[in-house]
Structure 1
Amino acid sequence: MLVRILSPSIRAFISAVGIGFAAALQPRGFRARLAISAAELNETLPVHSLWWRDHAKEDGELLYVAVGDSAAQGIGASRPNNSYVGILADHVRARTGRTVRVINLSVSGATVELAVRDQLPRFAALSPDLVTVAIGANDIAQWNAVLFEAGIRRVFEVLPSHALVAELPCFHLPSAERKVAVANRIVRDVAAERGLTVVPLHAATKRPGLRSVATHVAKDLFHPNDLGYRVWADAFLPSLTARVARRFAMTNDPAPESVGGRG
């Protein structure tokens, strides 16, 4: 999300979110520290992107395709595989005993419109066994409900019926949350029309409260850290586990995995 290719309005919005949190948490010198942290995370963008491209070349019995933005890339995590996409892929491997190839189509900074332009053409050439979609957080900066709904319809209409689509996460700040509420209503309504399962990501990320900014968020005060991505993955897990159990034979029947308990 914090990347050079973003429009000034999106960068300003993300900065405002981070500054709003930092004002409460670090009243002295927070702007300078926030700028340094954001720059450090910015340097990880090509590293994460290359990691996913390299791993997409690996073979797997099951194909998992992710559509999204920097959260799917795992920006803010200690390593790319600690993103929610990596955690979910590991969960499927453990539940099925099968190898899983992950094609992560996500692009840092992607809006719904950019996902339609850049990710859907690549998606059309694939036949995935598992699909997750988490997109729209970057649309809040230049919020336009009409354009957002049009884009969501374009994305959802090409998804297989087994795809899991996530709500936008909680932003905690009231000004952003009003827009997020509208966006999530659109996501739920369009998903219902298409018969798609909605992942309750907003409730999952809201539950820890504003204090989670100190524990679940990276140093830029915007992207999740490892703990934050575990919360994201936990939001997907019930639906993903049920989907895997219905569609793929399991080698055993282990107790439900708690992502939050991963070391």
Structure 2
Amino acid sequence: MLVTALTLLVSLLAGCAVSGPGATSAFLPSASAGPSIALGEGLRYVALGDSYTIGTSVAQAERFPDQLVEALGDPSPGLSLVSNQGVNGYTSGDLIRDELPALDALAPDFVTVLIGVNDVVQGVPAERYEANVVVILDTLLARLPARRIVAVAIPDYTVTPAGADYGDPSRQSAGIAANNAIMARLAGERGIAFVDIFDISREAASDRSLVANDGLHPSGAQYARWVERLIPVVARLVGR
């Protein structure tokens, strides 16, 4: 059970945020609708985030958490995706309000977190996003060692065919990069791995196979590229 002060801080910050749409590039520590649940063997893996975690517009098997589990394989210790908590349109404040409390019942051994694009789209100030990320990471660290947490960068949706529908592309791309820098810095200060997939997402400007049929979200092929970055990091962290 989390300490009372941390629980209060989570509640206060969640109430201030807005809800909204929807070579390894990583820091390594030294050592479409709503949540989906699956049960199995291995370390209990919970994925936190927004549309990029729940895999809006792709099949369940193509979502990056599902591809990660499949790519990591069976040899001990494997990962068992017990819950994908991602919700289309969620901001960092929404994650604090709805996803972090679910961890009590889910009892994860391993967590990924990818959040922040909707903060940019909805104009959540960088200072508020940073404060929310502090709460998210510190709440996770109260449950798990840093080596069992991975933060994933926000992809750049502005290069997709529908990207301009969600704000000025140049300004929004800069906002995404700024939020990624915040997450990378705060994760690094806490010894949490940060995997950067921003550059992969920008390849969608010239390679439409990396874009889902909705013209906005990543395709299963793009998520597979993310997993190529994630695998060596996750394998090391889970003790392969």
Q: TM-score, normalised by structure 2?
A: 0.74
> For 1:69 and 1:226, how far apart are their aligned partners in 2?
16
State whether structure 2 residue 109 is matched by structure 1 residue 123. Answer: no
| Contact 1:140–1:176 under 8 Å retained in 2 | yes
Q: Is residue 54 of structure 2 the alignment partner of residue 73 of structure 1?
A: yes
Structure 1 residue 211 corresponds to structure 2 residue 206? yes
User: In 2, distance between residues paired with 1:67 and 1:121?
Assistant: 11
Report the counterpart of residue 94 of structure 2 in structure 1.
114
**Conserved? CA contact 2:20–2:91, under 8 Å:** no
CA contact (8 A) 2:91 2:117 kept: yes
C-alpha contact 1:205 1:231 (8 A) present in aligned 2: no
Bigger CA drift: 177-186 or 114-123? 177-186
Q: Distance in 1 between matches of 2:224 and 2:117?
A: 18
Q: Does 1:137 align with 2:120?
A: no
Shift in Å, 1:87:
0.4
Whether contact under 8 Å (2:42, 2:79) holds in the other structure is: yes
1:170–1:202 CA contact under 8 A, matched in 2: yes
**Match in the other structure for 1:236:** 230
RMSD, aligned α-carbons: 2.2
Structure 1 residue 223, shift from structure 2 partner: 0.8
Alpha-carbon distance in structure 1 between the residues aligned to 2:196 and 2:231: 11
Q: Which amino acid aligns with 2:88?
A: S
* 2:231 partner letter: L
For structure 1, which segment, 235-244 or 186-195, has the greater mean C-alpha deviation from structure 2 after superposition?
235-244
- Match of 2:98, as an amino acid? D
Contact kept in structure 2, 1:74 and 1:81, CA below 8 Å: no
Matched, 1:166 2:147: no
Aligned residue number for residue 185 of structure 1:
181
State the partner residue of 2:64. 84
> What's the CA shift for 1:97?
7.2
Structure 1 pair 98–201 and aligned structure 2 pair: CA distance change class (3 A): closer
2:233 aligned partner, one-letter code: S
1:204–1:235: 8 Å Cα contact kept in structure 2?
no
Asked whether the equivalents of residues 43 and 77 of structure 2 are also in contact (C-alpha less than 8 Å), the reply is: no
Q: CA deviation at 1:76?
A: 1.8
1:199–1:236 contact (8 Å) kept in structure 2: yes
| Higher relative contact order structure (alpha carbons within 8 Å, sequence separation ≥ 6) | 2
With normalisation by structure 1, the TM-score equals 0.68
Partner in structure 1 of residue 82 of structure 2? 102
Larger of the two Rg values belongs to structure: 1
Q: Give the drift of 1:95.
A: 4.2
CA distance in 2, matches of 1:192, 1:147: 19
Task: Supply the AA of the counterpart residue of 1:111.
Answer: T
Match of 1:154 in 2: 135
The gaps in structure 2 that reach 5 residues or longer are: 1-18, 23-31, 160-168
Deviates more, 1:186-195 or 1:112-121: 186-195
Question: What does residue range 25-44 of structure 1 map to in structure 2 within 5 Å?
Answer: none
Cα distance in 1 between the residues matched to 2:75 and 2:195: 19
Instruction: Provide Cα deviations, 1:94-128, integer angstroms capped at 9, x if missing partner.
Output: 34375724211221211100000000011244432
Q: Which residue of 1 aligns with 2:216?
A: 222
Q: How many angstroms apart in 1 are the aligned matches of 2:154 and 2:105?
A: 26
Aligned length: 197
